[in-house]
Structure 1
Amino acid sequence: MENKVLPLTCLDLANFDLHQSAVSLKQACMDCGFFYVINHGISEELKEEVFEQSKKFFDLPLEDKMKALRNETHRGYSPALEQNQIHGDYNKESFFMGTEGLKDDSLGAKPFYRPNIWPDSDVLPGWRTTMENYHLELLRVCKAIARILALALDLDADYFDTSEMLENPIAYMRLLHYEGMSDPSRGIYGCGSHTDHGMMTLLATDGVMGLQICKDKDMKPQKWEYVPSIDGAYIVNLGDVLERWSNGLFKSTLHRVLANGQDRYSIPFFLSPSHDCLIECLPTCQSEKNLPKYPAIKCSAYLTQRYKESHRETRASPENRPK
């Protein structure tokens, strides 16, 4: 069951009534874990430049893209064939980059803060600077959303603004290029069904429809609904970390991408708390009648565990194998 277009809540970061924003955001997070954010302060000029630079990279000959092939920490280019083998996704290539630790910074020794792989600056001048500037802007917006999420969870607005949580976050950006045609009946997807592992994801697309969500993963048959792009807005979804933090109150929702024969470009930004942050039930989300549902775990250990699990799931799941 699919093809319905789903209306979502709009979070306005220019709204000075934070209580009103928190109330509407809480309902959206409990309902489906997806919403739009508007008046975020990211210029359309920067966004357009990022998409233009993304297309320039994916338009390069394969031999040039392979010079930026991903390293052992998965930063860099992943060709379509590799995506098929690892993720169970089809007709998708990507480029992955994230937060880097400074050379004299202890964070630089941790896997989630290792150096990025970059395309040759002679081939794509200005490419790295554009991506780094956009990464900083997306991080700023996510931190603003986190303040309203804290209020929605009956916490102080600055609850997540600590070195243990979002001062040194694990933050990845992924450039994606889809092409070809998906066929769910044969297990062929642009991106197979999954939940995101971190705290939240901020998504920009080129407007080509493709993203679908399933609000109730246990429903048989599953009901899939399209999430359209809105001019000037970003799509935001919650990840597994926030579901654990909220003791299941907020949803990390199953979603996927169907390619429709058009080239489709999108850029998700994945935010997680710092490497050593302990993910445990928030104080406002538990009581004697509502005990913590998940064991406490360090963020880096949880992300590593979920990454390994998702790879096993996509290799084993019939949904992710063409018939």
Structure 2
Amino acid sequence: MSQASNDLRLADFQAIPVIDIGDLLSGDLNARKAVAEQLGRAAREVGFFQMVGHGINPSLRQGLINQAKRFFAQPTETKMERYIGLYHHHRGYVPPGEESPDPNNPDMKEAFDLAFELPSDDPDVLAGTALLGPNPWPALEGFRQPVAAYYDAAYQVGRALMGGFALALGHEESHFLHHVTKPPSQLRLIHYPYNPDAEDAQGIGAHTDYECFTLLLPTAPGLEVMNGAGEWIDVPFRDDALVVNIGDMLEIWSNGEFVATSHRVRKVKEERYSFPLFFACDYHTVVAPLPELVKRHGQAFYPPLKAGDHLYAQTIQTFNYLRERLARGEIALPDGAREVGSLGQHGKHKETP
């Protein structure tokens, strides 16, 4: 158990902070450091915040939403032409029930997953590196351009946030960005269909995110986060904000100072959409607690791990088609694979009933 389990993870916060990152994008260094201080406080005490001032044009957000609605309105057989199990690098359509952090409680949603676009002749793609490659864009006229435009805008905001988190940990803004050149940063287009039986079915089960952090564009309420006391706290819906949460990689890099807070989607009947961009570092990055934080805390609370292997291992344990490939011996879990939910608040409460 990490040092943070004795202090900051016990904070029983009752609200999610709101941070304006405008100065992080355009201000001078002192202004950027002031925003970074707010980012660090939220990352240490809550692991979540609502982000405004991000500069992503509302037309880009609406374009993404419109294309998601068009895609999911297609017949199931058309969507299954881009089934995620058809591709080596884990991109494409995710039908209801395919994904579940808990195998006994499949998530009742559907999704279309894409990620950082790499050409087929990229050396890592040619080497068969998991999660890296081109996107299997649907054969839906007008779909690709607005979805890719939103991805590019959100990805650039993510790079600015990565610089801010580095400042918050006492480093130059470029410190982590050296490890962000062609990351498997995934954008998910998620559709929660109308579900009259929602009392008996979950949306997304409790989990932490596996990457550095997540930038979420929601279209309705429903997101809840776990505080240090194990209580579920509602994230109010704001149509001008993106919701940001710390993921496993930043928890490890910060030696537990930053908290990967568990979250879930509340059970509701209404139809809604959600668009998380999971901001990752490069696949081959070895993530280990920063030396000065190890010195400050007296020890390293996490062993080093390869970022992409961690992401791939968690993905294998979460998707049915990959579990089946694992059972058939077609793929193997990377060395040192962690159990799903072993980091962050959820992991702490598993350890301490």
Residue 224 of structure 1 deviates from its aligned partner by 0.4
**2:115 is the counterpart of 1:107:** no
Residue 284 of structure 1 deviates from its aligned partner by 3.2
CA distance in 2, matches of 1:66, 1:101: 23
Letter aligned with residue 264 of structure 1: R
CA distance in 2, matches of 1:29, 1:147: 14
Q: How does 1:55-204 map to 2 (within 5 A)?
A: 55-70=69-84, 71-83=87-99, 88-109=105-126, 110-120=129-139, 124-162=140-178, 165-179=179-193, 180=195, 181-183=197-199, 188-204=201-217
Letter aligned with residue 83 of structure 1: E
Residue 174 of structure 1 deviates from its aligned partner by 0.5
CA distance in 1, matches of 2:257, 2:14: 24
Residue 43 of structure 1 deviates from its aligned partner by 0.7
Matched-pair contact (CA < 8 Å) for 2:21–2:53: yes
Point out the more displaced range, 305-314 or 283-292.
305-314
> TM-score, length-normalised on structure 2?
0.79
CA distance in 1, matches of 2:107, 2:271: 13
> TM-score, length-normalised on structure 1?
0.86
- Structure-1 residue corresponding to 2:240: 232
Which residues of structure 1 form unaligned runs of 5+? 315-323
- Structure-2 residue corresponding to 1:22: 36
CA distance in 2, matches of 1:107, 1:137: 25
Q: How does 1:32-71 map to 2 (within 5 A)?
A: 32-70=46-84, 71=87
Aligned length: 299
Which residues of structure 2 form unaligned runs of 5+? 1-12, 324-338, 341-353
Going from structure 1 to structure 2, the CA distance change for 1:45 and 1:245 (only over 3 Å counts) comes to same
CA distance in 1, matches of 2:303, 2:15: 33
Residue 261 of structure 1 deviates from its aligned partner by 0.9
Q: How does 1:280-299 map to 2 (within 5 A)?
A: 280-287=288-295, 289-299=297-307
Q: Secondary structure at the match of 1:130?
A: helix
- Structure-2 residue corresponding to 1:7: 16
Q: Secondary structure at the match of 2:295?
A: coil
Identity, in percent, stands at: 31
CA distance in 2, matches of 1:10, 1:89: 34
Q: Secondary structure at the match of 1:294?
A: coil
Point out the more displaced range, 228-237 or 83-92.
83-92
Residues 191-241 of structure 1: per-residue CA shift (max 9 Å, x gap): 0000000001000011x111000022xx4xx31011122232110111001
Letter aligned with residue 15 of structure 2: L
CA distance in 1, matches of 2:104, 2:174: 36
Letter aligned with residue 136 of structure 2: I
CA distance in 2, matches of 1:93, 1:134: 20
Residue 146 of structure 1 deviates from its aligned partner by 0.8
Q: Secondary structure at the match of 2:165?
A: helix
